[in-house]
Amino acid sequence: MNAPARGLWNIPQRFPRTTLGLVGLLTLVFSVCAARFRVDSAIDQLLPTHDTEGAFYEGVRQAFGSEEINVIGLFADDVYAPETLARIDRLSQGLARLPGVQEVTSLTTLQSVSIGDTGLSRERLMPPLPLSAEQTETFRNRVRADRMAERLIVSPDGHATGLWVRFQPMPDDEFLALGLEDRIRALIAATPGPEGVAITGLPTIKVQAARKMLQDLTLFVPLALLLVTGMVVWAFRTWRGVILPLATVVIGVVWTTGIMVLAGDAFTMGTLVLPPLLMAAGIAFAIHVVSRYYQELRDDRSNAEAVSAAVAHVRLPVAMAGLTTVIGFGTFVWSPIPSIRDFGIYAALGVAVIFSACMVVIPAALTLLPTPKSVPSGLEDGGWFADFVGACGELSIRHRHLMLAIFSVLLAIAGWGVTRVRFETDYLRFFAADNPVRVENARIGDALAGTQVMTFVVDGDGPESVTRVEVLAGMRELQRYLAAQDGVDKTLSLLDHLDAVREALQPGTAGAPFSGQREIDQLLLLLAPSDVRHELDKRHARAQLTAHTRLSGSREVVGFVKRVEAWGVAHMPPGVRVHGTGTVVLMNRSADALAWSQVTGDGQVMLILLALMSLLFRSFKLGALSMVPNVFPIVMLLGAMGWVGIDLNICTSTIASISIGIAVDDTIHYMLGYYGELQHGATRQEAILATLRSVGRPILIISVALSTGFLIACLSNFEPVRHFGVLASLTMVVGSFTDLFLLPALLITLRVGDELPRAAALAEPTGLASRVALADVAATAPQPIDARPMP
């Protein structure tokens, strides 16, 4: 056995045991960390950080409290029935006793300002239970007269009621640790009744989302592992051919997850697809390395020589492939959305780890293993797979004009489809239509008020500015304007509280203009600050109007907010500004802009890759040509989205960058192989066919692995992740078709290869041209049997 050549790349072969021991130790450490992974379903993960809108919202949240509210809907023929009221009362008391619950507002805890025997007071509206028929009727009428209760607490027909549970501000981890979601549901179960029950609200949606994400992860990881196992079994059918590539992707996933945990990050909606994506994308590197190793063994080389030669041959294309993939993922590192930013960071990190593992673990392990008696049969003669891809190439070359015409037509159709693509993010539709989260949300929204709550902040020019008589007059008009908009079910503001006190003192005055500033200021004295803490800040410099809407989707929401803000500019007194905010507004306001910026970011990725490819092939023309098979699938992707009606949102807009970063790997291998063949005197046609027969197999295996890997995401509980899966998979398939049918036609038609003298220098050191010899030998050699076939 010859000693491995000295150099950085050969360290694993020179010190294989130390290398494997070190990697094993680190993997053990990271696996301990990785076992403590968390799932974070916080909405904040989908909101941009460090932007003015986010800072504004944070200020509003501090002034008026958080939106951590759950609504429990109870549905009955008559919610005023004695048994139902008793159940609501028991539930209200039980909910109020739960840790972390700040307040519970329900039909039985509802308070109202009135003048009674004891004077002006805010008392519970409902008399002590049980109620007589007369008391029930009186109670019903009093609730109906309460403007603030209408549609929020009780539906107009009396068939539904809402229990509003406001939680103390707490981190999501604490909310989950307290098990509040389960405790609420257990409390409901322990308070049985014939009424139907539904729960909605940000806290419950977050918990349900976290559970579904965990479910997804539990499903994705073993499925992805199964898939890549199947792929390497199919590719190599040897122990080392299966175990070593699997080890590299497992190392990649374990290290990435471990580092994620050490950094304090959790799996989010954005990083959910990370394990299967890393496995599918990472296995490609390993397949190339092991495939090359087996090919090098064909030349009667020793095991050590084969390992060294394989590393020398694949390190450039695999490194380039890794680099382009990292660039694709790297574009997300600058995303203002934490979830997407984390995806970019950890995907790039994971790819780098898997690439390193391929260059370190595989050579070290192969060095320690004895020389195999034969190479896998599929790699010897190419088998039916090589015949198939070769036939595809021949078809493409023979009918190149037809091929170019077909692809041109497809491009035109797709291009037309691109013009139909819409930017739209609908966060509720992240869940399937039959998912309980959406079903219960819709049920409550239909019976009571819409659950898409938007906040409009009225900012004055200093202390006591928003309680000025002219500003309150403007706010009243604004509230009326809001209430008149399509999709708005309910509005609330400080005026409702002032009207309630005024009505108690002077019946019949609610809704009328205020007589002057003295009236307002003195009415405010009669309001407890706690009563209006969600509507008026302490300095009276800022007020908040809330609109409960059925508006859904970013276009509808953003359009509505812009209309209201424009109304504010036109109608509010000078110095007073109306600005929409809240989780719903913020998420939708930023979604489309971010999706658009992502699409423009795709252009930047393409430019970077074009520069890289031009540098690699030392020719701008070749660089540009090599981009064609990668740009075409992206146009097809966007076109398909336009024609099918899948919207571009913050999830689907990431597919292009990811796909192009991965798909360009195939082109690198393809083009380097092609030039290797030309270097050894092959004609263009021969070079194409030989390249397809040699690198076509790993390229197609990897494409199938990636397509299938992305398809795993179709099993997700979340619609955008499913869309991501099917579209990314489709893009990979189209990319493969482009490599098989478009690229050969282009290479022949454009006579690519005339610049061989310059490009050949590139292919020479990689030794890719030796595949020609391999292919020639394979065509004549008998098929040996692998000494250790898979069972």
Chain residues binding another protein by CB under 8 A are: 115-116, 118-123, 463-464, 505-506, 515-522, 524-526, 528-530, 537-541
Q: Tell me which DSSP letter residue 161 carries.
A: E
Dist. CA 539–CA 470, nearest whole Å: 17
- Strands ordered across the beta sheet of 69-75: 101-105, 160-167, 69-75, 196-201
**Side-chain-side CA neighbours of residue 379 (13 Å):** 27
Question: Cα 556–42–199 angle (5° rounding)?
Answer: 70
- Beta-carbon contacts of 299 under 8 Å, excluding residues fewer than 6 positions away, are 770
Place of tokens 């309980």: 436
Residue 679: what residue type? Q
Tokens of 633: 């699938």
Dist. CA 152–CA 167, nearest whole Å: 17
Question: Cα 470–471–476 angle (5° rounding)?
Answer: 100
Which residues, in sequence order, are bridge partners of residue 455? 546, 581
Dist. CA 595–CA 430, nearest whole Å: 16
Closest of 742, 735, 743 to residue 636, by C-alpha: 735
The size of the chain, in residues, is 791
Q: Tell me which DSSP letter residue 789 carries.
A: B
Dist. CA 647–CA 655, nearest whole Å: 12
- Beta-carbon contacts of 786 under 8 Å, excluding residues fewer than 6 positions away, are 237, 238, 372, 373, 374, 375, 376, 377
DSSP assignment of 85-127, as one string? HHHHHHHHHHHHHSTTEEEEE-TTT-EEEEEETTEEEEEESSP
DSSP assignment of 334-386, as one string? G-SSHHHHHHHHHHHHHHHHHHHHHHHHHHHHHHHSPPPSS--HHHHH-HHHH
Do residues 371 and 331 lie in contact, with contact meaning Cβ atoms separated by under 8 Å?
no
Which residues, in sequence order, are bridge partners of residue 497? none
Dist. CA 296–CA 305, nearest whole Å: 8
Question: Which parts of 680-741 fold into alpha helices (H)?
Answer: 684-712, 719-737
